A and B are shown apart, each in its own frame.
Chain A
Amino acid sequence: MSDFWILLTGALVASCCGILGVFLVLRKMAMIGDAISHSVMPGIVVAFLLSGSRDSLLMMFAALLCGLLTTFLIQMFQNSGIQSDASIGVVFTALFAIGVVLVSLYARQVHLDQDAILYGEIAYVHWNIWELGGVSMGPKAIWLLGFTLFVIAAVIGLFYKQFKLCAFDPALAAAIGIPVVFFHYLLMGLVSMATVSSFESVGAILVVGLLIIPASTAYLLTDRLGVMIGLSVGAGVASTFLGYGAAVLLDASIAGCMVCAASLLFIAAFLFSPSHGVIVKKLRLRQLT
């Protein structure tokens, strides 16, 4: 049964990240997942110092606030003309550093970092059961991630056209009266919700990897947004399955294998993509000469 729950969790994370990753890649903000994974640190430290507990719900709430703050700051800097990669870098290193300083000032003797407090591990999801009135309802992570996926699908589905136009041509979107800034913040809000709930369930490397790699794979395979989202989710889910198979065969870290599988799929698309692939381009050049 553990296999089933681990694969389902992986597939849910891959779907959440796959959908949002497409928009992030298109907007050249793919590293935002990595940024959030670091910048939640001060939130965790402050929450711990105030409450003295390591309750995971509280920690997640603090992390979510920090994630929202991160995305808000990044968006704000970007709106005022700073390069998107630079604003991501500035915000997350600054917040992370604040967290490190807080730990060294007030909490030197505790295991206090996002690794020990917030990050879950996909290998353990099926033991973390949610019980309602004594009845087992299945792993907590499934509910949390299922809810996140539902919200993401609902928001993106409702405002698909607006998101699409904002991603490709924000100037035009603004010209025809779409509140571009609002949709950017909305997207960033979804991203911080998805990353924080996935960090809590499966850990950082898997989330950061699945946010960027499958979306980049899909980017190489198609020029249409709808198809790209589908392919991104597909590649993400496929990597969790392939990765789990590899982890079984090699007796290795599950999250690590899943991200490696995602990278392999990316390399395959990079080489063999019918439109952008290196090999296909070479062949086409040869045909022309």
Chain B
Amino acid sequence: MRKARKMNSALRRFIITIVFLTMTAILTSACGQQTTNGQGKLNITATTGMITDVVKQVGGEHVEVSGLMGSGIDPHLYKASQGDVKKLDNADIIFYNGLHLEGKMAEMFEGLEKRKPTVAVSSYLTEEQLHAAPGQGEGMHDPHIWFNVKLWISAAEVIRDTLVEKDPSHEESYRSNATAYIEQLEELNTYAKEQIALIPEASRILVTAHDAFGYFGEAYGLTVTGLQGMNTMSEYGSKDVSELRDYLVDKKIKAVFIESSVPKKSIESVIEGARQLGHEVKIGGELYSDAMGDEGTFEGTYIGMVRHNVDTIVSALK
């Protein structure tokens, strides 16, 4: 009898502890929220690093930009943290890539549209400019539009027009920033074309781990082959590995490329297979595909990233 009561009181203590801890948690969570919107700047949140960079360039000093996906993060695998929720909550405008790059998150952006401007930077692109994702139903497109600099210029225009519309008082500044930046992008486009043209025509074949470079290949005249499908999560079959290996041997391809956000194990097995058939393939270097380099470095900007990719490809295949 006494023992039972002792147990009961212990149980009660356990429950009281839980209740107490819970209340502490509520209090801390209630205190945790505060917004940092100083000096009447527009708060802007963007999903990928590429978009964040363009918003910074076009918005300049009049906007406060925060990106959700940092360097090296695969957008297909991104998970929001509590801080990201606050960033999205506090944002005056949200920019995202669209075309299903952000997966289910995009569905939520579409729902959010009624309450705050959420803009897909791919929204100005026409059906002809987009690639269909091969073998898919209606309306499925390759989302990796940033690899064609021309298409990315249209993304900069989306951002410019949205900023002008939401913050007309700084229209002039946005327009001149955008014009200057688009000029840089045009130069970048020319640079990429000139550089890729240095590669002998028969060697203009780009082999990577996953199918992100479709737009890049089309814009700059490279044949693109990937081991994995567009989704970095999809499994590659043993047939994919052997087919790609035979392709490498057949076309005498000098180098294949790995990507910053995709593990390189898959591509290594192909290289090993080619070696056994007596064809030496080297890894031509690391390309930035779904994410950019570290913030603060040259590769951490959109222009730097594209230049890095172009230079890496050219020096390995030339």
Contact = CB atoms under 8 A, between A and B. Distances in A.
Are A and B subunits of one complex?
yes
Interface of A: 2-3, 6-7, 52-53, 56, 100, 103-104, 106-113, 115-117, 119-121, 123-124, 127-129, 131, 221-222, 234-235, 237-238, 241-254, 256-257, 265, 268-269, 272-275, 280
A235 B11 CA distance: 13
A106 B11 CA distance: 56
Given A3-B30, A116-B103, A245-B25, A272 B14 contact: yes
B235 A104 contact: yes
Interface stretch (B79-87, B176-184, B242-250, B302-310): B79-87
Instruction: Give the interface size bracket for B toward A.
Output: 35 or more
Contact of A244 (B25, B80, B83, B229): B25
A245 B135 contact: no
B231 interface: yes
A253 B85 contact: no
Given A109-B136, A115-B103, 10 more contacts: A6-B85, A52-B138, A53-B137, A109-B135, A110-B140, A111-B103, A128-B108, A129-B111, A248-B28, A254-B81
B259 interface: no
A275 B7 contact: yes
Contacts of B24: 245
Contacts of A119: 104
Contacts of B105: 121, 124
A233 B153 CA distance: 53
A275 B229 CA distance: 54
Nearest to B143: A111
Contacts of A107: 135-136
B40 interface: no
Given A109-B229, A127-B111, A242-B25, A52 B85 contact: no
14 contacts: A2-B85, A56-B107, A104-B234, A108-B229, A110-B136, A111-B230, A113-B234, A116-B103, A123-B82, A238-B19, A238-B22, A248-B29, A251-B81, A274-B8
Nearest to A106: B135
A103 B29 contact: no
